[in-house]
Amino acid sequence: MPSLTLLRHAKSSWDDTVTRDFDRPLNTRGRRAAVVVGTWMKREGLAFDHIVASPAVRVIETLEGVIEGYGQPIAPDWDKRIYLASSATLLDLVREFPVDCEHALMVGHNPGLEDLVLGLVAETGGSPLRGEVEAKYPTAAVAVLRWDGGWADAREGGATLDRFVRPRDLAEGLGPDD
For residue 92, give the DSSP letter.
H
Please state which CATH number belongs to domain 3-170.
3.40.50.1240
State how far the Cα of 111 lies from the Cα of 113, in Å rounded to an integer: 6
Q: Say what the pTM is.
A: 0.95
Please state the domain extents for the chain.
3-170
Residue 58 marked in a binding site: yes
CB atoms within 10 A of CB 65: 22
Q: What does each of the 178 residues of the chain score in pLDDT, given as a tens digit?
A: 899 999 999 999 877 677 789 999 999 999 999 999 999 999 999 999 999 999 999 999 999 999 999 999 999 999 999 999 999 999 999 999 999 999 999 999 999 999 999 999 999 877 889 999 999 999 999 999 999 999 999 999 999 999 999 999 999 888 776 5
- Asked if residues 90 and 110 have their Cβ atoms less than 8 Å apart, the reply is no
